[in-house]
């Protein structure tokens, strides 16, 4: 068994000759909340989709919990896409039942409790809910699984500041020492208090990989400040 939960080696993904990921190599431990931070088009979503098993890499190797991407990894990965995908005719209860039927590691009681804390009625029809509330429902479903790797693509972009606080606390308290959370976002100021490590990515390559404590203690900066400073050097920032 590997000491790392996620291992990428020379990972490349090319769309019509343009690389979205370019020889991307990294090893990520378990038990961490990791920020995947970069500008639009930097390769964040492509990386998350490859880890989730939705996209295939053009070349390179990827392992999750020591296993290549496939059926085994999909069973231990909980993925939140940037866009909601539940049908508008569904009730919140239907979403709960769907996840209960589909995922053996889904904790139904945890989902109900989180929805209640967020003020989301389980008998409501999705088409009657705001975009932000729909995103809350989807995040609750994803975080109610007992997964080893949570992949969250822009989990707080569409919700109000008060809900962001609750959602971040939910992420903090709903993963185990054997699990890790990768959060892709551009709202660095909002998430930096919860992340243990971060990856700066630009044009499909790693610009920096470090711990939050190192930045604060050794550089005396916030991650948001460091991001702005580092990415000022890049033409597409």
In which band, very low, low, confident or very high, does the pLDDT at 168 lie, cut at 50, 70 and 90? confident
Q: Residues 133-167: pLDDT tens digits? A: 888 899 999 999 999 999 999 887 777 777 788 77
Lowest mean pLDDT among 63-67, 73-77, 169-173, 186-190: 169-173
∠ CA(224), CA(225), CA(226), 5° rounding?
Answer: 90
Q: Residues 12-37: pLDDT tens digits? A: 999 887 889 999 999 999 999 999 99
Q: For residue 74, give Cα distances in angstroms to 152, 159, 221.
A: 15, 27, 37
What is the per-residue pLDDT for 2?
Answer: 65
What is the per-residue pLDDT for 56?
Answer: 94
What is the per-residue pLDDT for 53?
Answer: 95
Q: Is 121 contained in some domain? A: yes
Q: Is 1 contained in some domain? A: no
Q: Does residue 82 carry a pLDDT above 60?
A: yes
Q: Is 236 contained in some domain? A: no
Average the pLDDT over 97-103 and give the result: 95
Alpha helices, DSSP H, located in the chain: 44-52, 71-74, 92-102, 108-117, 131-143, 161-173, 188-191, 212-214, 223-231
What span, in angstroms and rounded, lies between the C-alpha atoms of 223 and 212? 7
What is the per-residue pLDDT for 159?
Answer: 74
Q: Is 36 contained in some domain? A: yes
Average the pLDDT over 159-186 and give the result: 82
Q: Is 237 contained in some domain? A: no
**What domain count does the chain have?**
1
Q: Is 163 contained in some domain? A: yes
- Give the CATH number, domain containing residue 171: 3.40.50.300
Q: Domain range for residue 127?
A: 6-231
In which band, very low, low, confident or very high, does the pLDDT at 224 lie, cut at 50, 70 and 90? very high
Q: Is 170 contained in some domain? A: yes
What is the per-residue pLDDT for 235?
Answer: 56
Q: Residues 37-63: pLDDT tens digits? A: 998 889 999 999 999 999 999 999 999
What is the per-residue pLDDT for 28?
Answer: 97
* Eight-state DSSP code of residue 156: T
Q: Does residue 237 carry a pLDDT above 70?
A: no
């Amino acid at each position: 068994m590997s000491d790392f939960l996620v291992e990428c080696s020379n990972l490349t993904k090319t769309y019509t000759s343009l690389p979205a990921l370019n020889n991307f190599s990294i090893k990520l431990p378990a038990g961490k909340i990791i920020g995947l931070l970069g500008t639009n088009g930097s390769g964040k979503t492509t990386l998350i989709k490859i880890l989730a098993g939705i996209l295939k890499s053009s070349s390179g190797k990827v392992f999750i919990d020591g296993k290549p991407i496939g059926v085994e990894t999909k069973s231990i990965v909980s993925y939140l896409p940037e866009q909601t995908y539940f049908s508008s005719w569904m009730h919140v209860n239907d979403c709960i039942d769907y996840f209960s039927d589909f995922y053996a590691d889904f904790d139904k009681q945890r989902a109900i409790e989180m929805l209640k804390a967020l003020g989301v009625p389980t008998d409501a029809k999705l088409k009657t809910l705001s975009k932000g509330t729909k995103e809350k429902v989807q995040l609750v479903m994803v975080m109610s699984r007992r997964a080893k790797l949570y992949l969250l693509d822009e989990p707080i972009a569409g919700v109000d500041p008060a809900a962001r606080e609750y959602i971040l606390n939910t992420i903090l308290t709903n993963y185990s020492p054997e699990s890790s959370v990768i959060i892709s976002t551009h709202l660095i100021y909002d998430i930096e208090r919860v992340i243990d490590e971060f990856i700066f990515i630009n044009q499909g390559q790693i610009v920096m990989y470090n711990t939050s404590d190192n930045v604060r203690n050794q550089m005396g900066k916030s991650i948001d400040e460091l991001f702005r400073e580092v990415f000022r050097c890049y033409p597409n920032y």
